[in-house]
């Protein structure tokens, strides 16, 4: 997973502030911001994030088993969750130093698992997660 190039937005990576709306907006608009969709128990989840050093700044969007999954809606939700203050309960920061060399899809899967295990703002149906890729075949 590539580092976000915050310096191209005149933000020193050591001064990046996840509490700043401006910095969060720059994070999601960087070319290295990435996302993926996962099958989660009987529902789905979309995870999107950006890496700065060994930290992953990310957001999670859940899709209930009772709803129709939409990739577009999941992506829209993760962007909104990161940018807007009223969605702050759906974003988090984790240290990814143990998985930093893994492909982005696996790093984001790790982030989803860690987010669910923290247990805050997780729907009941998503607890005790069984996470897999939404596609039948996945390369790296």
DSSP assignments along 53-94, one per residue:
TTEEEEEEEEE-TTSPP-HHHHHHHHHHHHH-GGGGGGEEEE
pTM of the model: 0.86
Backbone angles phi, psi at 42, to 5 degrees: -95, 0
How does pLDDT run across 34-79, given as a tens digit for each residue?
999 999 999 999 999 999 888 999 999 999 999 988 899 999 999 9
81 pLDDT above the threshold of 70: yes
Instruction: Return mean pLDDT, the chain.
Output: 87
Q: What is the pLDDT of residue 50?
A: 92
Average pLDDT over residues 120-135: 87
Q: Between residues 133 and 40, which one has the greater pLDDT?
A: 40
Q: How far apart are CA 10 and CA 117, in angstroms?
A: 35
Q: How far apart are CA 24 and CA 87, in angstroms?
A: 12
The angle that helices 71-83 and 21-28 make with each other, rounded to 10 degrees, is 150
Q: Which residues of 19-57 are buried (b: 16+ CB within 10 A; e: fewer)?
A: eeeebbebbbebeebbbbbbebbebbbbbbbbbbeebbb
Q: How far apart are CA 63 and CA 133, in angstroms?
A: 14
Q: How far apart are CA 24 and CA 88, in angstroms?
A: 11
Cα distances (angstroms) measured from residue 56 to each of 74, 96, 136? 19, 6, 26
139 pLDDT above the threshold of 60: no
């Amino acid at each position: 997973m590539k580092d976000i190039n915050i310096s191209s937005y005149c933000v020193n990576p050591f001064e990046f502030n996840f509490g700043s709306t401006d910095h969060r907006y720059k994070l999601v608009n960087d070319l290295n911001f990435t996302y993926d969709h996962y099958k989660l128990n009987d529902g789905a989840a979309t995870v999107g994030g950006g890496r700065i050093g060994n930290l992953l700044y990310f957001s999670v969007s859940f899709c209930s088993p009772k709803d129709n999954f939409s990739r577009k809606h999941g992506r829209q939700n993760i962007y909104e969750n990161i940018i807007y203050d009223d969605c702050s309960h759906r974003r988090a920061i984790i240290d990814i130093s143990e998985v930093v060399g893994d492909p982005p899809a696996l790093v984001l899967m790790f982030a989803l698992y860690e987010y669910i295990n923290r247990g805050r703002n997780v729907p009941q149906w998503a607890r005790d997660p069984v996470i897999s890729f939404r596609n039948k075949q996945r390369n790296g």
